Amino acid sequence: MSFSDVFKGRFLSQVSNISMGEAFITLLVAITLGLLIFVVYKHTYSGVMYSRSFNMSLLLMVVITSVIILTISSNVVLSLGMVGALSIIRFRTVIKDPVDIMYLFWAISIGIIVGAKQYLFAALCVAVIAVLCFIMGIFKKRNAMYLIIVRYSHEASPSIEKAIRSIKGKVRNKAVTRNGIETIIEVGSKIADSNFVERLSSVNGVTSAVLVNYNGEYCE
């Protein structure tokens, strides 16, 4: 018996049928865990604009990946062909937030684990990562930084500087023109939760005082 005969008889002929029970359980677990990822992303998202379509794609990605892995696990030849087919796929959507990339890998990895029928391990991974996401979200809110943009006249400059020193704020930018001054002050969440902006607005000579949330990349 030649190597070709052994390869065809022992390798290419190893095809296992997928039972409807296994397929139903795999789909049910994939949908359940995908919904959990959907809920975690929705409640921990802290970007500028929440995208429901992207969140729905995470749920569908878990289901689709699990179906692909379940299918190719029954046939070695099909798995090789599937790898070649998937290699031509390119993602054209721009991912602006690095956290979204983490969620994509999370959805794909859970789909692979579920497709491999490791249901308990997949559930454990979802639970652990979900707890970490909520913990990181809590710390992010506590350590959030805010910017106060104040526009005022030259006469109000001493009062504004005194107010900045009282809260130990950091001046990030200061633009002086003939018509007035614009100062950007960085403050913590405790100052942002107080009525400091209202007090600034009540100072004589202040034209406007705007509070924005700043995460280091963009303002909200």
Q: Is 44 in the same domain as 73?
A: yes
User: What mean pLDDT do residues 88-102 have?
Assistant: 69
pTM: 0.63
Give percent of the chain above pLDDT 70: 72
Q: Is 115 in the same domain as 10?
A: yes
Q: Is 117 in the same domain as 210?
A: no
Domain tally, the chain:
2
Phi then psi for residue 170, to 5 deg, are -105, 125
Neighbours of 96 (CB within 10 A): 13
Q: Is 150 in the same domain as 106?
A: no
Boundaries of domain holding 173: 145-214
Q: Is 137 in the same domain as 172?
A: no
User: Which tokens is 82 given?
Assistant: 């599937």
- 154, 107, 102, 159: which is closest to 133 by C-alpha? 102
3-state secondary structure of 65: helix
Quick one: which H or E segment has residue 213?
strand 206-214
Phi then psi for residue 194, to 5 deg, are -85, -175
Q: Is 210 in the same domain as 194?
A: yes
Which of 142, 176, 202 is the endpoint of a domain?
142
Q: Greater confidence, 142 or 171? A: 171
User: Which tokens is 41 given?
Assistant: 């992303």
Bridging pattern class, strands 145-152 and 206-214: antiparallel
User: The tokens 């798995």 sit on which residue?
Assistant: 79
Bridging pattern class, strands 206-214 and 181-188: unpaired
Residue 110 has pLDDT above 80, yes or no: yes
Q: Is 60 in the same domain as 39?
A: yes
The length of the chain in residues reads 220
Q: Is 33 in the same domain as 129?
A: yes
What sign does the CA torsion over 209, 210, 214, 219 have?
negative
- The CATH number of the domain holding residue 184 is 3.30.70.120
169 falls within a domain = yes
Which of 86, 113, 142 is the endpoint of a domain?
142
4, 43 contact by CB (below 8 A): no
pLDDT digits (tens, 9 = 90+) for 178-189: 888 888 888 776
Which of 142, 169, 202 is the endpoint of a domain?
142
Q: Is 138 in the same domain as 151?
A: no
Phi then psi for residue 160, to 5 deg, are -65, -45
For the chain, what is the mean pLDDT?
A: 77
